[in-house]
Each structure stands twice: as structure tokens, then as C-alpha cells.
Structure 1
Amino acid sequence: MDLNQARFNMIEQQIRPWEVLDPQVLALLSVVRREDFVPLAHKALAFVDMEIPLGSAPNQVMLAPRVQARLLQDLAVKKTDKVLDIGTGSGFMAALLANQAAHVLSLEIDANLAAQAQANLQKTGVSNVTVRNAEGSQGAAADGPFDVILLNGSVAEVPAALLQQLAVGGRLAAIVGDEPMMRATLITRTSDSSWTTTEPWDCNAARLSGFTEPSRFQF
């Protein structure tokens, strides 16, 4: 496989058509080698428009390239930003974020995935990411506030604890809802006591581990 051609095709045929047009994001996807963060058994799938399995659980996946790219574009990360990345997985999104931010704290509930992500980041020379084996639904208040919070998977709802850890002007991106209709959700903290929410696009994604599901029981 010609990896450079496959990467070019991924960007031009999957990512650009999904309205990812930010030149910085597109350039980053050319430089940060996605294949370096894909498990050896699935290397051939590195540039395919699908979620890639990472572990034994069905929700342990690497999100599809176009989804990762659009979340990154929506967050508009700046070089001075402190980032909280929830659901490290293989470490690929942490690597992308690290190239745009000052520092990334990445939380992964699965110890094996956390160790593998740390190894991937070290191998690829990313030095401004701290990977922590931890459940992410309550964030990392002691390390906040954060300018950017990213949830690498879907949740039924965004926990209030995470919103409280956004700095004023900070942005949180998540995929929220239930199949078959989930929405990419961007929440911006506008003051100490107010947030604005937009839902710019539809997308289904695997559930993030450790986030509670609201009760569906009704009288």
C-alpha cells in the first residue's frame, strides 16, 4: 500500500467533503501519521472511513477520520490552550491536539490502552501530552480549568462536572444522543454562569466508557 497516496485520498475523498476546510487541520492530518496509532492487526484500515477496533470491548475504537477531523476543526485549538482529552484510545487525537495546543491531559479508563497510547506518543515524538489511566466522566478538576475539552466518543448527555471545568471562553466538543440520531455538540462557556450550545452536524459514534446512561423508565 502507498501510505502517502492513501493518506491523500482520505483527506480529499472523506475529510474535505465533510466540510473540513481549515488549512491548519488539513495540513496536520498530512503530517501526523495516522497509521502509527492503529493496532498492527488493523493497519490496512488506517485510512478507511470507519471506526477501528482498539481493544476487546466493542466500544474501544478509533473514531472515523472525518469525525476526528471535524471535531478538531470545530474546537479551533490555539497554541496557548490547555486541553482535556477524554477517551485516549490509541492516542491519535491527543497527538493532533498536542500539535495545536500548549499541553494535553488525556484520560483513558482502560489501563492497556493508556499504556499503548503513551508508547505511541513517545514513538512519534509527542512530548506535551500526559496520558492518565482514569475514568473521564468527572474530568480532572484539580488540573483545570481547561480551554478545550474533547470527548472521543458518544454520551447520552454531557456531565455538568465537565462544563464547570471549562475556562471562560473554553469549548467542549462531544457527540451526544442515542442511535440512530446523535448530534455533534459544541458547548462554549461564555461567563462564570453561562454556556452556549450548538449542534452543527449529525454523527453516530461508539459510546465512551464510564459515562452514566439516564434512566429510561417512565410511569
Structure 2
Amino acid sequence: MSQRPGFPVKLSPPGTAPTRSSPGKSAVAPAALGLSGAVAVPRMPLAPTGLGLDSGAVRARMVRLLAQQGVRDARVLEAMGLVERHRFVESALVGQAYEDTSLPIGLGQTISKPNVVARMIELLCQGASGKLGRVLEIGTGCGYQAAVLSHVATEVYSIERLRGLHEKARDNLRPLRVHNVHLIFGDGMLAYPQGAPYAGIISAAGGDDIPQAWLDQLAMGGRLVAPTVTSAGQQALVVIHKTPRGFERQVLEAVNFVPLKSGVA
């Protein structure tokens, strides 16, 4: 197995030195979230600044809605409040960036609506105390979910089969100086054995079944969250937990994701 790379936002081609980036900050003040009751959101380091879509208050409203919709994990709510979603959508659609809706990002792909992103990451985090370890994301898209994952995991490996989206995600993430995200151009159905084993695997595309490579690269005790076609012929969220006794599979609510495909383009 080859040595895992450091923390570039884009892995360098073989034989060249990787470029590194350092962490940046973008935060929403805890008071701005206005959350109470069972949801305790940790303190965030910076007060909200900026105007319009750059204002922390805009993201705070989105986070309050997520909490009202049932998202309970404070780590996930904090991460959703930290990442500026409008930086990952097309310029003509920035006015809809904080609405609970999916939006086109080109090449027939979409950025998932905030509730779906938060729900899937919350499922990934279940049972873990503190940050997750190394996480693999199948389907980088525009890079938004990878940015959110960077706040709940120590390392994020994100693989994208469409070169145009891989490059778009790189361009979106570079100004944010995300230090612990590795972007990979490749076939997500094969996962990424160089980074395995993974504490969590999350997929932004749904297939007829979970690829064996994903199960093989999941660490003992790890969790896998992916849309999968069920016996009824409908897509549903499926959670797989790898235990010493084998794989425990849980089928949850119906979803509608783009199809999982092999190869690169």
C-alpha cells in the first residue's frame, strides 16, 4: 500500500510534490443560532461578520431550520453553520443557497439540500464520541459536503469520477484553505484503498447495491451511509455498521440521488 498523502486540497500527479494549504476560519456565533432544549451547540470561535449571504445570521437561520427538522447532533449543526454554502453553488443560484433545496452544479449533478447533508452526516457520526477519524466521501460534486465533513472528521478523502466537478471542487475549496481534505479524481465504486481503513464512508450517489470495495475498506466499528435501491425498487438511505459479528444493515427513509456509475469521465 502506498503512503497516504499529506493535506493538499488536490492530490498532485505521481512524481510531483503536493501543494499544501493551511486551515482558515469561517464561523457563526453560538448566540446567533438561537437553539435551545435538547440541542446544545458548542461555542464557535468567531462572531458573525459580513453582509447578505456572507453574514453568519443567514447560516444561523438555516441551522435553526435543520434543528426544527430533527437534526440533533451538535457537531453536525455546528459544521453546517460554519460552511458558507453559497460559495459552492452557481452564481445565478446564490439567492437560493440557504433554502432547503437541491441545486444543479453542472454535468447533470446536484448539490444535496442542507437537510439531506446534515441527516447523512449525523447518521455517519452516530455512536462516535468526538471527531470521526478518516472518512471517505464517494462523489465530491462541488465540494460542499466535503467541507462540512472536514469539521467532524480528522481526515476526509473525497473521490469524484467527473473531472469537471473534481476541478470545480478544488477551485471552491482552495480559498477556504481546508487543511484536512484530500480530493481524488477516480472511480468511486473502487473506493480508495490507499487511505483505508475508514471510520466512515458516505456516498452522494445511489446504486443497486453497496460495492464490495466499500465494505472491504470500512474499518471495524465504522459506519457506511449511502442511498441504495431496495427490494421494492425504490432508493432509500441505508446505514451499514461493521461489527465483529458482521455487517448490520438498516434501511431508512426514501431518497432520490443521482445514480452511482463506474469509470471516470
Q: Given the two structures, how large is their TM-score scaled by the length of structure 1?
A: 0.86
* Equivalence for 2:255: 203
* Equivalence for 2:207: 155
Q: Higher strand share goes to which structure?
A: 1
- Which runs of 4 or more aligned residues in structure 1 lie more than 4 Å from their structure 2 counterparts after TM superposition? none
Choose which of 38, 55, 65 in structure 1 pairs with 2:114. 65
Cα offset, 1:174, TM superposition: 0.4
SS in 2 for 1:137: helix
The AA in structure 2 aligned to 1:186 is V
SS in 1 for 2:62: helix
The AA in structure 1 aligned to 2:106 is G
The AA in structure 2 aligned to 1:55 is G
**Structure 2 segments unaligned to the other structure (5+ residues):** 1-50
CA distance in 1 between partners of 2:233 and 2:89 (Å) = 27
Choose which of 84, 89, 92 in structure 2 pairs with 1:41. 92
Cα offset, 1:5, TM superposition: 4.4
The answer to whether the 8 Å contact 1:63/1:153 transfers is: no
Choose which of 219, 222, 225 in structure 2 pairs with 1:170. 222
CA distance in 2 between partners of 1:175 and 1:83 (Å) = 17
The AA in structure 2 aligned to 1:36 is R
* Equivalence for 1:18: 69
- C-alpha distance 11-181 of structure 1, shift in aligned 2 (>3 A): farther
- C-alpha distance 18-158 of structure 1, shift in aligned 2 (>3 A): farther
- What CA deviation, in whole Å up to 9, does each residue of 1:11-62 have, x standing for no partner? 333x2243211122112111111111112232122112222111132xx111
SS in 1 for 2:220: strand
- What CA deviation, in whole Å up to 9, does each residue of 1:85-129 have, x standing for no partner? 110001111111111111111101111111111121121121111
- C-alpha distance 8-134 of structure 1, shift in aligned 2 (>3 A): same
The answer to whether the 8 Å contact 1:18/1:70 transfers is: no
CA distance in 2 between partners of 1:7 and 1:80 (Å) = 24
**Number of aligned residue pairs:** 207
Give aligned-pair identity as a percent. 30
CA distance in 1 between partners of 2:110 and 2:116 (Å) = 13
Aligned-residue CA RMSD in angstroms? 2.2
**Structure 1 segments unaligned to the other structure (5+ residues):** 212-219
The answer to whether the 8 Å contact 1:158/1:176 transfers is: yes
CA distance in 1 between partners of 2:98 and 2:233 (Å) = 24
Deviates more, 1:166-175 or 1:180-189: 180-189
Larger CA Rg, structure 1 vs 2: 2
